[in-house]
Amino acid sequence: MYIGQKSVRGGIEDFLCPFTDMYITQGSNSNFSHKGVMANDVRGRVSGVRYPYYAPCTSRCIRTYPMSGQVMWQSINKVRFANGRVDYATYMTAHDDSMNAYVGKVVNQGDELGKMGTKGNATGVHCHIQVSQSNDTTWTKNEYGIYRFNNEYDLDDCYFVDYTNIIYGMGGDWITTGNAPVIELPGSEAVDQILHVGSKVKFDGIFKVDIIKRNTNLFGNTKLTGVSFSNYYNEKASSYHWIPLDDFTEVDKYGSKIGQDDIVFGGASYVINENTYEVKEIDIPTNSAKLVLNNHEIWIFSTFLKEV
């Protein structure tokens, strides 16, 4: 992308490639410092030059790591990724010697986010970038001792490369917004992933059954509702946090229904829900939407819902 570039369709920002010229020096899941993680090291046209890079979407600084010129950013709203998913973006940039971000700083899409550099444990001037398609800020080491996000995706599944000159793309399947048309029906309400009362939504994801309520058809899922496992276990949570199983179908952890018997166990089974629901209420502080499933009111984090 170039400085000042914006891309908004149907009210949603497209997540753009932050680099004007992209030469990938280390790809995802390499044998070096990206073992088991989806991250790219990117330099510009000329080796050793500290080129600027730009905000792929309007983003807020969540954390800084000055020793390595590293910043955790998160999109203000849900964005559209190159793989078609619409969700929050949480991403890390690293090695900026002149890093001037601070927690809470907001950078608009297309404005300068930082500069390639060598700060921290860097070999040659570059920007390290790693993207989670979620609002989960968990940043923990994997089995190889490399830091990772939950819900990481490879970079060609994350950014659109409109106006990025790809010098060396490491064989990635890079696409532009022109390859991903957004159909906007005239006169209909925009499906913009901004939920309000009356929005039609589906559950977006595969969910683990954390706990089953005794003698009922209700289950708990700590990720969907934010209720702690111990509250579920001790049944302290208000009744609406229990989710009726009726509309959910058992799958394996990859989402396949094959070989599943719909007899689910707490802590072991995975389920999906393909029905459409109407949002009854919104709670902005917790970013949750109230749905009614089988006459049961439940609050669900909106990041796990997809407007349809």
Residue ranges that bind Zn ion, judged by CB under 5 A: 41, 128
Kindly tell me which of 155 and 195 has the beta carbon lying closer to Zn ion.
155
CB of 232 closer than 8 Å to CB of 222? yes
Residue 57 CB, nearest approach to Zn ion (Å): 21
Kindly tell me which of 67 and 185 has the beta carbon lying closer to Zn ion.
67
CB of 12 closer than 8 Å to CB of 80? yes
Residue 207 CB, nearest approach to Zn ion (Å): 32
Instruction: Return the structure tokens found at 136.
Output: 């989960």
Residue 299 CB, nearest approach to Zn ion (Å): 38
Residue 125 CB, nearest approach to Zn ion (Å): 12
Instruction: Return the structure tokens found at 133.
Output: 């398609």
Kindly tell me which of 38 and 191 has the beta carbon lying closer to Zn ion.
38
Kindly tell me which of 29 and 230 has the beta carbon lying closer to Zn ion.
29
Kindly tell me which of 68 and 109 has the beta carbon lying closer to Zn ion.
68
* CB contact set of 167 (below 8 Å; sequence gap of 6+): 21, 22, 23, 45
Report the alpha-carbon distance of residue 34 to residue 16 in Å, rounded.
22
Residue 150 CB, nearest approach to Zn ion (Å): 18
The residue whose Cβ lies closest to Zn ion is: 128
Residue 40 CB, nearest approach to Zn ion (Å): 7
Kindly tell me which of 128 and 213 has the beta carbon lying closer to Zn ion.
128
DSSP letter (8 states) at residue 135: S
CB of 16 closer than 8 Å to CB of 57? yes
* CB contact set of 62 (below 8 Å; sequence gap of 6+): 72, 73, 74, 90, 103, 137
DSSP letter (8 states) at residue 16: B
CB of 235 closer than 8 Å to CB of 227? no
Kindly tell me which of 41 and 157 has the beta carbon lying closer to Zn ion.
41
Task: Output phi, psi for 177, to 5 deg.
Answer: -60, -25
What does each C-alpha distance from 6 to 155, 201, 294 come to in angstroms? 19, 27, 43
SS (H, E, C) 59-70: EEEEEEEHHHCE
Residue 41 CB, nearest approach to Zn ion (Å): 4
